[in-house]
Structure 1
């Protein structure tokens, strides 16, 4: 009935391949090393973020981790024996031990859970199905308990996590008490209708439920129905208290799930004494500290999990989140890219920058740093362009002249002086430091806390466990991690050497002659080029020495000059003069051309300064992007007009009509260069600027611009676009008005194939983001019909409650708000949902009601919704159903009856089809 509760879209693949160096094949590439936090993430198999979040929580539960590590091979068996007949190998705890050892000791950015999920009996497709982490918590603990039967650890799950609740019913007549105890692994607490964890616990364990009136209790002692009170108390508190928040509710009117996104607070430290049966102990017996928050982002039918964890043993290197330096473009762009798991699209980088600092690149940085694309290329030690330059990512490993020897990672951690605790956000492979105050951001919204893990304050850690990831890890697992570290180090050294090996094309001076200001090969059959593979981490002096050794007959000085092969011949640029600088710092990459000569002459012909040193300074370089995806470098075009440049490009372009356009501040295609006869210098095209060659002919100078009109709107005449209302259609229904005159289609989330409807207006309209256009209909007194609908704009920006809507309608019709009865029409179901002042259950502890919003569940008011109105002063009929609604309901019943044999089918265009929900299970062998 609920459909697939969670679905998670797989992210597209990402290849961090540099266009300026060699990269090993994907299968041979080692995983990146750990980041600055020195903690290891977990790879997502496609939909296993819920599993990753729970595993990280268990790893950072020291008592759980040490209990698991205390079980040796003599009790669990050995993985190499699992295929032997008759061998009892407890695969799940063994694989969990190995995973924890890798997360603690192996120097890699993220570990794989493939072996663990294989031990669960899951196939490859089950790794892409997402499930509820609360359900996984119970199933995984049950699987561990069954796997450890007959071992010394058979009871450690029960000892650490299980508690007891006692339910009591007290007879008000004779005072007889009937009690029943029940075991719990986690406490499922309500979110709907309460504002905090304490209030939910108060409702569960302090407030009583009365059996009275028609709901009486049969007392065994009185042997009759009597008034009674039911209550519950915590009888036994476990060392670790798990709170599962009921964020998802079911709307029985709509027959669909929805997520509770209202504010729901929870404390960092909680005292459970008021909720316990026995309250005579010390405060420390009831005090718990929060150490893990599993967070769900999304809705009922899709989302993502990550977890905030307090590093109790200080295994990671906590650093305060860096304060953004808004005047430093390198810091700003690095922070923007670091916020995403893999990469940022180049055409989105400008907008992300605007959202981050409130200013565009052109206004803040372009004057001093040039175009954003040129800035990224000039900092290729920090950024890497991938996918043909359409995406940018941070480099994982910067080139370094010295490779560190293998060894255990450094453990120099400093506690947060303000809180005294380390908090990290573990989001699959990504681990970042956060502040304790960041937890408050997860109190409400689509991204909010879903599971809370508390640890008894009495539990203390030994000093030798701090900053020591090897503490109580079995020696055979330590040895396994050391071997994997050594193997990874060797793979990284090999990869680093491969990635830093560049192929240089050496052009020897004796093989060239000077002709018409350019260098031409002396022998046309041989271009005089020699290929040399060299490590770019070495210095220019090392390269010079290697060339000396290759050319044993070379006499005199040797100059190395960067060259470029152009149609006119070989042109020389800057000469490498500093022998102590590395080739990487000198800007030498693979396929670079170097001219080897004495620095003065070629075959006794003097090379003038104009050719060797001034050629670059006198030429204006411009990078031109062609719509086919090809990049071209053009030089010395500063005095040439735009028309001449386009004519020169037609030899590589199909078609006859092309023009040039600039890039705007968002790095998107901007205004065209209208004056094609002006030179690029007169058009203020600066060196290094990017232009876009776009198909199409510019309008003549006598016309300002062409106005394009859709054929269907040729006969529609409006003064301005403000007299038009644009609707988005879904399933032939008007669902949303497109707001904002300056918003791009990407901001409006419009994609190709979207159906739009244009409505002509009699007056200008500019709706705000929280203004809702409603169709309101007043009921005809004494009849089952309505007067014609009217459009009403309701401003819900300040107050979106039912009272606000009722006040707005009362002002529109000139009536009293208390005399109006409202309902929302559901046209697909032909029913009316009455909107009233809901009477919320008020807690005895906090006399406060939550503010309800009509924009949220369960009404979700939006543009185009129909609101029915009854004036109770003159109309006693409180039923909103019309004859047309009854006929529609009859048609639905007949349609459902005819489709019972074929199963439930959804109407096209109304509801998104979802995959059937797959049950979560873990297969465990028999060990009794």
Structure 2
């Protein structure tokens, strides 16, 4: 009902006191989950890489279930972690607690501080940025070490371990030499390939030949022979983790850089062509994408977030509302594809394609896309799966046989049976082609923010500074039980469910208490019998009597509820009761809006306090004036008695209150006739000049008109600028001004600048007395304009003058150069800089030194007095800096996780 009605300052009717009412943000309980029903993770400063990996592991159903299967009898209890004899496996225990929190606690975000503490991070390691691929390997190693001796000791090995074999086949005798390697993640190249399938084809299908000068020594033939080297996948894990080599090293520049080119990856694909055994069922080779960790930024810093497929359908997904036009305009591939598809001939000149793009988007390619994607010709060549260059590369058309969003087969020469088998089983369902048909939707988990996304959004992570960095695939043969779908508590241990229920109860109680306290206000009641009317405002009858009654009230209730509560407190109150908002102003207490019935009504009628009519409302808000007048001694009135307090300056201070609707005549009548004038805050110079002539200090000054007065504005007791023209002054209260009498009329324009010009005495450290020079900056405010104006004044040529601005604070001169840079005709001429801007900042009253270049060869020198003043200026040490820009980067710290010994 009341809302923010009572949020006022002061001791009025409705102000709240510190310590009551709305509490601070630090007391506010964490907000509940949003409508998506998924929980984010707080960033501790630089832990976005950890958050992304934790969310991926959480939404890996089999990993989550295996972790929850481990009980306290195997892992121990966190309460005993500080006991030396207890072997508590802290890392898996904290990971269990974090998973249960993310699944079941009604909180928008969770914290990983307990987990990072279990890592042994005690030196602010969480503030540094690390590589998520490195963290993935180190965290798996830490979990394996922590689970030694438990039923989960083979957890990582069962879910993520795979093997590949490197073979060298002798072409002479057929002998095969092989070496087997284990892997938890496959590291694939990004540079020089169009996508994941081409990279895997190069790794596991293509053979490297040893021939010519690069022969292989066969152990059976015992001689150098021709041989072929190849690699195959021997054992496929249930979960295939792929790390993309986005970061490379430029040996020419001796620095790292990030590969931002297009790199496509499929939603589902078949690994049969890449495996050593090809007689397994198809389900053993088929994988589906369920997580993408994305890196945004460069080699030396950035941000991670993750796209997650909700396999167990734990979240609530709704289609995001986006503007299709704005999204398409950011993707040059879709824009160019649309342009070519609308052409009747389906073929466009490459030279005309840029113009057609500008006509459609309103922005040329060079401004919108060139920095990220290169020239338009290079972009077309980098997407051969979409565009086809014909007529010697002068025309471009869409490939009719290949859809624009489908990745091509990485190799063209296909003749073997294995290649035909690959074509049948590897149907590249590229990310972005299809929508979810299995009921599982995608979400973007970006630290504490969770948003719903579509499958088409995955395609945006193919390239650019924000692109995919790690891919997580899951075997399609792994099916989830029906009871796991939509059940966040599935396989969560009972003791963790109990802890979650207690936490939710505490959160619910905190939110209820905070809701009540945030809507509780203190209403201060000022009873009318305890006040009287004086100087346009209400004042307490007795200063010692407590005339304020405090009532704590719920702002959501009505005025009727407030009136009823007050009646119950004031048993002796007789008659009707009017509730009016009040506020303490400098003049006293003032009444504003009257509250009636069940709503707020703005009744600005007269009220009576102690029999006196009180005017209410904003327009009658009282004003308290501070009046300064000469004391009786200053006026020569004898005994010095007067109203107010006199200070040492001979002025008497007094306070006088007036109603807001009082007229200027009422104020002057109350203050009495004084030798003063009133000047409006935003009056014009002409009006202020006329008013100043009535001041006592200027009564003896005889000038024909205000035009013979020059009014200066003072800043720090120094002349700053001249008040001129008919524009509003916009001077603040207490502004200092200086009045200068002139020998002739002066009407300065807005573009006129008054300078004090001093000509140097030839051969001496001295200058002639200054002369006032009026410079019209409206014609030319540059150094050339000033040189030309002064040359015309002295009858010389601009090239024969040397000018400088005097800096009185530093006791030195600042040369003003007349040299202008010669600009090539092909280059755009740079606009000359005004002397009123940096670094000169010329203003009214500045001193300009002038020397004749032909006579006075020396530069501007100080006078003898100036040299003595320079000696008093503190010497500032000169810092020498090495040339060339340097980048200050934080030293890289190795990532590590501390694990106890459990063997």
Report whether the alignment pairs 1:284 with 2:344.
no
CA deviation vs aligned residue, 1:85-105 (integer Å, no higher than 9, x gap): 332221111111111111111
Identify the residue that residue 470 of structure 2 maps to in structure 1: 451
Q: Secondary structure at 2:295's aligned position in 1?
A: strand
Q: How does 1:354-503 map to 2 (within 5 A)?
A: 420-503=439-522
Q: Secondary structure at 1:157's aligned position in 2?
A: helix
C-alpha separation in 1, matches of 2:884 and 2:96 = 49
Identify the residue that residue 795 of structure 2 maps to in structure 1: none
Structure 2: runs of 5+ lacking an equivalent: 1-16, 326-361, 363-433, 624-658, 665-678, 689-712, 717-722, 739-745, 756-774, 785-816, 829-880
Aligned residue among 494, 511, 527 for 1:508: 527
How has the CA–CA distance of structure 1 residues 29 and 567 changed in structure 2, closer, same or farther, with 3 Å as cutoff? closer
Identify the residue that residue 611 of structure 2 maps to in structure 1: 604
Aligned residue among 511, 516, 535 for 2:554: 535
Identify the residue that residue 628 of structure 2 maps to in structure 1: none
Identify the residue that residue 203 of structure 2 maps to in structure 1: 204
C-alpha separation in 2, matches of 1:90 and 1:201 = 38
How has the CA–CA distance of structure 1 residues 567 and 28 changed in structure 2, closer, same or farther, with 3 Å as cutoff? closer
CA deviation vs aligned residue, 1:119-178 (integer Å, no higher than 9, x gap): 212214222122111011011111111111221111121111111112121222222222
The 8 Å contact of residues 641 and 676 in structure 1, kept in 2 or not, is answered as: no
C-alpha separation in 1, matches of 2:40 and 2:484 = 21
How has the CA–CA distance of structure 1 residues 174 and 675 changed in structure 2, closer, same or farther, with 3 Å as cutoff? farther
CA deviation vs aligned residue, 1:562-618 (integer Å, no higher than 9, x gap): 22333344333222234378xxxx99xxxxxxx9x998533334445xx358769x9
Identify the residue that residue 118 of structure 2 maps to in structure 1: 119
Compute the displacement of 1:439 (Å). Answer: 1.7
The 8 Å contact of residues 557 and 598 in structure 1, kept in 2 or not, is answered as: no
Identify the residue that residue 916 of structure 1 maps to in structure 2: 891
Q: How does 1:23-172 map to 2 (within 5 A)?
A: 23-24=22-23, 28-172=27-171
C-alpha separation in 2, matches of 1:455 and 1:636 = 79
CA deviation vs aligned residue, 1:789-813 (integer Å, no higher than 9, x gap): xxxxxxxxxxxxxxxxxxxxxxxxx
Report whether the alignment pairs 1:762 with 2:833.
no
Q: How does 1:894-909 map to 2 (within 5 A)?
A: none
The 8 Å contact of residues 559 and 598 in structure 1, kept in 2 or not, is answered as: no
Identify the residue that residue 264 of structure 2 maps to in structure 1: 265
The 8 Å contact of residues 558 and 598 in structure 1, kept in 2 or not, is answered as: no
Report whether the alignment pairs 1:314 with 2:360.
no
Identify the residue that residue 901 of structure 2 maps to in structure 1: 926
The 8 Å contact of residues 725 and 748 in structure 2, kept in 1 or not, is answered as: no
Identify the residue that residue 233 of structure 1 maps to in structure 2: 232
Question: Under a length normalisation based on structure 1, what TM-score does the superposition of the two structures give?
Answer: 0.57
Identify the residue that residue 665 of structure 1 maps to in structure 2: none
How has the CA–CA distance of structure 1 residues 219 and 417 changed in structure 2, closer, same or farther, with 3 Å as cutoff? closer
How has the CA–CA distance of structure 1 residues 277 and 696 changed in structure 2, closer, same or farther, with 3 Å as cutoff? farther
Identify the residue that residue 643 of structure 1 maps to in structure 2: 682
Compute the displacement of 1:187 (Å). Answer: 0.8
Q: How does 1:785-796 map to 2 (within 5 A)?
A: none
Compute the displacement of 1:554 (Å). Answer: 1.6
Compute the displacement of 1:54 (Å). Answer: 0.5
Which has the larger Rg?
Answer: 2
The 8 Å contact of residues 206 and 274 in structure 1, kept in 2 or not, is answered as: yes
Q: Secondary structure at 1:925's aligned position in 2?
A: coil
Identify the residue that residue 750 of structure 2 maps to in structure 1: 704
Matched pairs, number: 592
Bigger shift: residues 465-474 or 453-462: 453-462
User: CA RMSD, aligned part only?
Assistant: 4.7
The 8 Å contact of residues 581 and 593 in structure 2, kept in 1 or not, is answered as: yes
C-alpha separation in 2, matches of 1:250 and 1:237 = 31
C-alpha separation in 2, matches of 1:549 and 1:52 = 56
CA deviation vs aligned residue, 1:298-350 (integer Å, no higher than 9, x gap): 21111121111111112122232245799xxxxxxxxxxxxxxxxxxxxxxxx
C-alpha separation in 1, matches of 2:139 and 2:163 = 20
Identify the residue that residue 186 of structure 2 maps to in structure 1: 187
How has the CA–CA distance of structure 1 residues 490 and 181 changed in structure 2, closer, same or farther, with 3 Å as cutoff? same
The 8 Å contact of residues 724 and 748 in structure 2, kept in 1 or not, is answered as: no
Q: Secondary structure at 1:268's aligned position in 2?
A: strand
C-alpha separation in 1, matches of 2:199 and 2:106 = 43
C-alpha separation in 2, matches of 1:308 and 1:643 = 59
Compute the displacement of 1:245 (Å). Answer: 0.7
C-alpha separation in 1, matches of 2:481 and 2:567 = 63
Q: How does 1:616-635 map to 2 (within 5 A)?
A: none
Structure 1: runs of 5+ lacking an equivalent: 1-17, 327-357, 359-414, 588-594, 620-633, 648-654, 659-671, 681-690, 724-756, 769-905
C-alpha separation in 1, matches of 2:140 and 2:42 = 22
Identify the residue that residue 522 of structure 1 maps to in structure 2: 541
Aligned residue among 570, 591, 595 for 1:551: 570
Compute the displacement of 1:252 (Å). Answer: 1.8
The 8 Å contact of residues 53 and 136 in structure 2, kept in 1 or not, is answered as: yes
C-alpha separation in 1, matches of 2:442 and 2:732 = 47
Compute the displacement of 1:536 (Å). Answer: 1.9
The 8 Å contact of residues 243 and 453 in structure 1, kept in 2 or not, is answered as: yes
C-alpha separation in 2, matches of 1:635 and 1:263 = 70
The 8 Å contact of residues 525 and 551 in structure 2, kept in 1 or not, is answered as: yes
